[in-house]
A = this chain, B = another copy of it.
Amino acid sequence: MRRFDCDYMAGAHPKVMEALLRTNMELTAGYGNDAYTAEAKTLIRNAVGMPDAEVFILVGGTQTNAVAIDGILRHHEGVLAAESGHIAVHESGAIEASGHKVLTLPHYSGKVHAEDVAHYIDTFYADETYQHMVAPGMLYISQPTEYGTLYSLKELETLSCVCHDHDIPLYIDGARMGYALAAEGADFTLHDIARLADVFYIGGTKVGTLFGEALVVTNRSLLRNLFPLVKQHGALLAKGRLLGVQFAELFRDGLYYEIGAHAVRLAMELREILRAAGYEIVIESPTNQQFVRLPNDVIDKLRESISFDYWGPRGESSSIVRFVTSWYTTDEDIAVLREKINEGR
């Protein structure tokens, strides 16, 4: 079975695993007060070009979003997000559990438009009853989005401008950031992300580590007292060095970018195979997630040897499915997919 279900099906990239093994018997202080975590933080600060940024590495994405958003917002504020955003849909109400509303915006293949952000805030404060409503307190976007699409540098700059003109911070969920950076036509770097966002995170779980998301706070006044906040959220890892060891490995010699490039290259091949076979690519994604419309009988046949994600019906006899590549996807996986697709025609 060749598996394209999601990008967190394997353990860690072999080099990351080796680093964990190599350091396994060392004894260090807990809670991230160790040399590996210090190294990882320095490497990340360098990678984003912000020597003064605060970096705190957490275990998972929902956790990181919940800690950051809870920490940034004041009581009466909510977080603006695309209605397709992870925090709006797939976090079991973690944001609300910390007391905050997710204020949804229309999405365009997973992206929000700057005009919609501006319009929401302007309309909000123009309403005489605004003090009875939840104030827009920050903007959440994901790069790449939940649909694999990307904001261009220009779009990021516009969103950042709109946020700062309206006096709210911009937060970027980078669970799959590695795949964004490696995308065809990606015209932004981590330096841009750090320059434009007030807070963001660089995902590890889906890009080479066993787990781990590196929260980067460039606007440090927004998130003070992060350590006890993380602890209070139950998000502090006792053996914090595990996070440090893994992220140091990702950023010491560019492994993070290699992983991204590998998965994106295979995703592009995969897309071409499906397009060439005549199937509709329903979202134009330059990253590691590909959404395709397949006839239901083709789906049934493919599933004998290939696994992927069912997304929903499209008409009577076809459906949308999602194929995902990752650092562990192989050329052989793609070759098998090609063969099966061609058989299926």
Contacts and interface: CB of A to CB of B under 8 A. Distances in A.
A165 interface: no
Interface stretch (A94-102, A107-115, A264-272, A291-299): A94-102
Contacts of A35: none
Given A97-B232, A211-B238, A228-B131, A8 B24 contact: no
Determine how many copies of this chain the complex contains. 4
Contact of A239 (B11, B26, B228): B11
A29 B11 contact: no
A98 B101 CA distance: 11
Contacts of A132: 89-92, 228, 231
Contacts of A317: none
A89 B133 contact: yes
22 contacts: A5-B29, A8-B239, A9-B27, A9-B28, A10-B25, A17-B20, A21-B21, A25-B328, A27-B328, A62-B236, A63-B234, A74-B225, A90-B129, A92-B133, A93-B99, A93-B232, A96-B100, A96-B134, A97-B233, A98-B99, A134-B228, A210-B242
Given A11-B20, A93-B99, 19 more contacts: A6-B30, A8-B239, A9-B30, A11-B25, A25-B328, A64-B234, A74-B224, A75-B97, A75-B228, A89-B132, A89-B133, A90-B132, A92-B132, A96-B101, A97-B233, A135-B228, A205-B239, A211-B239, A234-B235
